[in-house]
């Protein structure tokens, strides 16, 4: 299925982020003609996976602010993308509390600008919008969310991502009903894997602390989350993108949850207990005095729609997910010279082979 990207002009917004960098590495291996659009780098953001993989020298690297429509239109005009993966977003819950206006401007206004650019670019045939598992109105009932459930958000980040989904639906119904453009969104979150150093994120906080021999403090160890290795949602993005390019039915205008199998979710504490086994000397502490944010205690998604309509399902166990993650980070922090580009490529190939052995249609 992924041969559909060979020779295609692909634009990835947010290409310098954690998921964006892994997606660009995979798309390059598929032979895509790749352009990225992201904010300029800040010195304090290092280390950065995008830099570690030397992606700047391997693709068309454009910089600007998704909140600036003119900058975005200039990239569309130059690149003439055939398919767009929209990942650019403010993705940190704590940052949304610290700077709520910037959060809403980026996640809502940036989505509006992306949709306006799509309206004005005839070359683009497909667009995948990357949403979040936190878009649902969560009343803490412990039931897995399905795509038809009500959207909501008590905190600024969740609300902004839910609003972005409503904006997408408005444009779809108002402007893209009878166009050649095929659009859909994917809802996933709590993604882990090598190369993530995002602030206020569980695994990055852990590896930063453990690499220095420090303990990590947990805020909410009993919280349940739908953990996935980064390659799991990326394979779903690519599945959906290829399907949209092929104009397969039941794709345009749809939203898809990308999540582990029900019953395979794990608590924060349980996840770190498993990860500790592959990280010598790792220590975890509990701190009831850690400042509280409004966070869901239980977050579960049903992936039934993705299974039945996209023929996608997760390929990795939580143990395999944590092994890949630990191997990547320990290679980075090792004093030995390590080719992290080659390691990243090997992990992509390993993931594809695991999916192929399981008979997943996209991997055949």
Q: State percent of the chain over pLDDT 70.
A: 93
Residue 305, φ and ψ in degrees, nearest 5: -65, -40
Bridge partners (DSSP) of residue 255 are 185
Joined tokens for residue 175: 């402007």
| Whole-number average pLDDT of the chain | 89
Average pLDDT over every residue of 222-234: 86
Evaluate if residue 223 carries a pLDDT over 80. no
Selected residue with higher pLDDT from 92 and 12: 12
Average pLDDT over every residue of 204-213: 82
Domains and CATH numbers, the chain: 2-363 (3.40.50.720)
The confidence score (pLDDT) of residue 363 equals 92
Residue 121: closest CA among 168, 155, 175, 77: 77
> Which phi-psi region, left, alpha or beta, contains residue 262 (left: φ > 0; alpha: ψ -120 to 50)?
beta
The confidence score (pLDDT) of residue 151 equals 95
Selected residue with higher pLDDT from 241 and 218: 241
Average pLDDT over every residue of 220-247: 90
- The pTM of the full predicted model, rounded to 2 decimals, is 0.91
Average pLDDT over every residue of 346-362: 96
The confidence score (pLDDT) of residue 264 equals 61
CB 182 within 8 A of CB 126: yes
pLDDT tens for each residue of 111-146: 999 999 999 999 999 999 999 989 999 877 778 899
Evaluate if residue 357 carries a pLDDT over 60. yes
Evaluate if residue 288 carries a pLDDT over 70. no
Evaluate if residue 296 carries a pLDDT over 80. no
How is residue 307 annotated by DSSP? I
Distance (Å, whole) CA 80 – CA 82: 7
Say whether 294 sits in a helix, a strand or coil: coil
The confidence score (pLDDT) of residue 263 equals 62
Selected residue with higher pLDDT from 186 and 205: 186
CB 47 within 8 A of CB 259: no
**How does residue 103 score in pLDDT terms, banded at 50, 70 and 90?**
very high
**How does residue 160 score in pLDDT terms, banded at 50, 70 and 90?**
very high
The confidence score (pLDDT) of residue 43 equals 56
Beta carbons within 10 angstroms of residue 171's beta carbon = 19
């Amino acid at each position: 299925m992924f041969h559909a990207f060979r020779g295609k002009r692909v634009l990835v917004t947010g290409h310098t982020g954690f998921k964006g960098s892994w997606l660009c590495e995979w798309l390059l291996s598929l032979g895509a003609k790749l352009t990225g659009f992201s904010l300029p780098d800040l010195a304090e953001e290092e280390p950065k996976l995008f830099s570690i993989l030397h992606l700047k020298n391997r693709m068309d690297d454009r910089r600007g602010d998704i909140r600036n429509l003119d900058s975005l239109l200039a990239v569309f005009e130059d690149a003439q993308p055939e398919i767009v993966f929209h990942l650019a977003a403010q993705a940190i819950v704590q940052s949304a509390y610290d700077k709520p206006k910037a959060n809403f401007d980026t996640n809502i206004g940036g989505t509006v600008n992306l949709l306006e650019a799509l309206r004005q670019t005839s070359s683009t045939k497909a667009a995948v919008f990357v949403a979040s598992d936190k878009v649902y109105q969560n009343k803490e009932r412990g039931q897995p969310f399905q795509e038809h459930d009500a959207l909501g958000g008590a905190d600024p980040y969740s609300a902004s991502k839910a609003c972005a989904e409503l904006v997408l639906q408005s444009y779809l119904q108002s402007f893209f009903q009878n166009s050649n453009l095929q659009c859909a969104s994917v809802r996933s979150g709590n993604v882990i894997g090598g190369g993530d150093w995002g602030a206020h994120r569980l695994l990055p906080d852990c590896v930063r602390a453990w690499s220095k021999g420090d303990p990590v403090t947990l805020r909410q160890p009993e919280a349940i989350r739908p953990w996935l290795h980064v390659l799991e949602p990326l394979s779903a993005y690519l599945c959906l993108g290829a399907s949209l390019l092929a104009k397969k039915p039941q794709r345009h205008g749809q939203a898809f949850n990308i999540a582990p199998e029900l019953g395979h979710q794990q608590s924060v504490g349980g996840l770190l207990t498993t990860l500790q086994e592959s990280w010598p000397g790792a220590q975890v502490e509990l701190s009831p005095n850690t400042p509280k944010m409004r966070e869901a205690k239980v977050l579960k998604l049903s992936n039934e729609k993705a299974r039945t309509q996209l023929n996608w399902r997760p390929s990795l166990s939580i143990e395999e997910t944590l092994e890949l993650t630990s191997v990547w980070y320990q290679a980075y922090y090792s004093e030995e010279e390590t080719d992290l580009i080659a390691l990243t490529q090997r992990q992509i190939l390993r993931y594809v082979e695991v999916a192929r052995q399981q008979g997943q249609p996209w991997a055949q």
